[in-house]
Amino acid sequence: MRFPSRFTDILPKRHRPKLNKSKESRIKGLYIPLASLVVALITVVGSLYAQYRANKLQAQLKEYELSFKPKQEGYAEFMRLLLELFDTAATHHPDPRKITSDVAHLHNSYFSLEPFLNSEERIDIWNKLQEYASACYDLYKAPITMTDVDRAKASDMYLTYQHYFREHLFNALFTNTVTY
């Protein structure tokens, strides 16, 4: 009597599993589930990455809303009021309350930017702003008829202060790298 070489040899033929699997059954049994797993993993990783990017974009948008936009609008208003004050002083506006009002508006504009400045920047820019306001008051009090030389000095004075504020205030608000 011969002993079965495999366990399946003792089973009747109709109950024996096919040991010689065809290529098709191997694909169905191994490769399709493996491919499905890979596709599922790629989908999960892709959706996680998309969610990460969306959250990062949302955070940047919120930072823009809370920080950059107020800085940008405040800076533009400050520079506009800087020119308006000079214009009031240089043209000797007939109402003396106008120059006081313009100085107050310029100060208020500065105060809206102050929370974004460090203590050294606040002191430097505030002192320069006080110098500018004083120079504008002096220009306002000067005789109405100015020589061309006096007009040129007044324009140079404005351009000097404008340059200072453009450099220092802009850098303090947007780059934090002020060069002295």
* pLDDT at 149 exceeding the cut of 80: yes
pLDDT tens, 109-136?
999 999 999 999 999 999 999 999 999 9
Average pLDDT, the chain: 85
Inside any domain, residue 14? no
Report the number of distinct structural domains present in the chain. Answer: 1
Inside any domain, residue 111? yes
67: confidence class by pLDDT, cuts 50, 70, 90: confident
Inside any domain, residue 143? yes
29: confidence class by pLDDT, cuts 50, 70, 90: confident
Inside any domain, residue 73? yes
CA angle 132, 134, 138 (to 5 degrees): 115
Q: Which of 2, 31, 26, 5 is nearest to 16 (CA)?
A: 5
Tell whether pTM > 0.75.
no
Rounded to whole angstroms, how far apart are CA atoms 153 and 142?
A: 12
pLDDT of residue 16: 55
Inside any domain, residue 126? yes
Inside any domain, residue 163? yes
Phi and psi at 22, nearest 5°, equal -80, 165
Q: Is 113 exposed, middle or buried (0-12, 13-18, 19+ CB in 10 A)?
A: buried
Q: Please check whether residue 178 is in contact with residue 172, taking contact to mean a CB–CB distance below 8 angstroms.
A: yes
* pLDDT at 1 exceeding the cut of 60: no
CATH assignment of the domain containing 159: 1.20.120
Inside any domain, residue 9? no
50-61 mean pLDDT: 90
12-31 mean pLDDT: 62
* pLDDT at 44 exceeding the cut of 90: yes
42-63 mean pLDDT: 91
Q: Rounded to an integer, what is the distance from CA 131 to the centroid of its chain? A: 32
Rounded to whole angstroms, how far apart are CA atoms 93 and 152?
A: 19
